[in-house]
A and B are shown apart, each in its own frame.
Chain A
Amino acid sequence: MESGFGPKIVWDSGWKVPGLEFLGNFQITETVTVTWLIMIGLIVFSMLSTRKLEKIPKKLQLVLEILVGSINNLTAQTMGEDKKSFAPYMGTILLFLAIANLSGLIGLRPPTADVNTTIGLAMMTFTLIHFNGVRKKGIGRYLKEFTEPFIPMLPLNIIGELATPISLGFRLFGNIIGGLIIMNLIYSALAGLSTALFGPSALPIFQAGLPAVLHVYFDLFAGVLQSFIFTMLTMVYISMKMD
């Protein structure tokens, strides 16, 4: 705990990236390894579960069909039928964020408790918003929208657009790191309580059971809600720019 609440450094290469020396050594943190685990999990699951698809679906295929169907439906209803092709991306970030936020439940550090992950995802959203804006409207009409309703509004509109990825990234990061810090503090407080009551060699018995309620709120409720909100806002912002 001496190093604060940042992610643990799993591997330090000892060398610096040429041209980016000011960033320090090239390191791999817990964030990256947990992200790899989630990626492996999702890839293996989707490969295994789509291997033997049948006309009349069995258990696993039925669950998958409901999942894919509801993501397609959600995208079509939020963004409009014409933008249904965004469903695979939205499904991917929804599943990734949900699993990432819930990974705190099995003792891993959620990758979303690192601002690099959340801002990275928000940058992807930002790129999609503006790329699709240009693609749908053409570069002229897209640029003209920045000067609406009149030309002096240009800097205001630009700063307003820059605020989108920052607010998206930081709200997710803030929610998850907040839960993580509070849970950490409660765990160490409960350990301190059992040492104070039963001496220094006592088992931290209070840690079993009591934090479960808080895990339900901070990991389960806030985690699922925030991943859903992130996906929903991505959809809303993209369709706002394209309409």
Chain B
Amino acid sequence: MNNNNKIKIFQNLALVSQIGIMMIVPIVIGLFIGKFLDEKLGTGYVFLFIFLVIGVGAAFINLYKIGMRDQKKK
């Protein structure tokens, strides 16, 4: 039981250290997809804006999933 708890602590520490980068990466992915589409279609900044918003949303969903991971099991 004690050992199990220790592993749970390490597991959650690993996830906590992942939170920061998990927030940035979807936004950057959205930025690149939007920029690529804009250059391809010549649409100014329309897709850049759309995909940035999607990226921010995806970042929130990722964080929500990590946060709610343990609640689901109960």
Interface residues of A, Cβ cutoff 8 Å to B: 73-74, 77-78, 153, 155-157, 159-160, 162-163, 166-167, 170-171, 228-229, 232-233, 236, 240, 243
| Cβ-based interface call for B7 (8 A) | yes
Q: Would B14 and A159 count as touching, CB distance under 8 A?
A: no
Main secondary structure of the interface of B (DSSP, over half): helix
Q: Would A159 and B7 count as touching, CB distance under 8 A?
A: no
**In the complex where A78-B7, A159-B58, A240-B69 touch, is A229 in contact with B25 (Cβ < 8 A)?**
no
Smallest beta-carbon distance A236→chain B, Å: 6
| Cβ-based interface call for B15 (8 A) | yes
Q: Which 3 A-B pairs have the closest CB atoms?
A: A159-B58, A163-B25, A232-B14
List of B residues within 8 angstroms of A228 by Cβ: 10, 14
Q: Would B54 and A156 count as touching, CB distance under 8 A?
A: yes
Smallest beta-carbon distance B14→chain A, Å: 4
| Cβ-based interface call for B37 (8 A) | no
- Complex: how many Å from CA A196 to CA B30? 50
List of B residues within 8 angstroms of A236 by Cβ: 11, 14-15, 69
- Complex: how many Å from CA A20 to CA B5? 50
Q: Which residue of chain B is the closest to A159 with respect to CB atoms? A: B58
8 Å CB contacts to A: which residues of B3-43?
3-4, 7, 10-11, 14-15, 17-18, 21-22, 24-26, 29-30, 33
**In the complex where A166-B25, A167-B22 touch, is A157 in contact with B61 (Cβ < 8 A)?**
yes
Q: Would B29 and A163 count as touching, CB distance under 8 A?
A: yes
Q: Which of A74, A77, A153 has the most CB of B within 10 A?
A: A77
| Cβ-based interface call for B57 (8 A) | yes
Interface residues of B, Cβ cutoff 8 Å to A: 3-4, 7, 10-11, 14-15, 17-18, 21-22, 24-26, 29-30, 33, 54-55, 57-59, 61-62, 65, 69, 72-73
Contact of B18 among A74, A171, A240 (CB under 8 A): A171
Q: Which of B3, B26, B59, B72 has the most CB of A within 10 A?
A: B26
Q: Which of B3, B18, B22, B69 has the most CB of A within 10 A?
A: B18
- Complex: how many Å from CA A142 to CA B6? 32
Q: Would B26 and A160 count as touching, CB distance under 8 A?
A: yes
Smallest beta-carbon distance A241→chain B, Å: 11
Other A-B pairs beyond A74-B7, A157-B58, 4, CB < 8 Å: A77-B3, A159-B29, A160-B62, A236-B69
Q: Which residue of chain B is the closest to A235 with respect to CB atoms? A: B11
Q: Which residue of chain B is the closest to A155 with respect to CB atoms? A: B54
- Complex: how many Å from CA A170 to CA B21? 9
- Complex: how many Å from CA A195 to CA B72? 62
Q: Which residue of chain B is the closest to A166 with respect to CB atoms? A: B25
Q: Which of A73, A156, A162, A170 has the most CB of B within 10 A?
A: A156
Q: Would B26 and A159 count as touching, CB distance under 8 A?
A: yes
Smallest beta-carbon distance A46→chain B, Å: 25
Q: Would B10 and A232 count as touching, CB distance under 8 A?
A: yes
Q: Would A153 and B61 count as touching, CB distance under 8 A?
A: yes
Q: Which residue of chain B is the closest to A174 with respect to CB atoms? A: B21
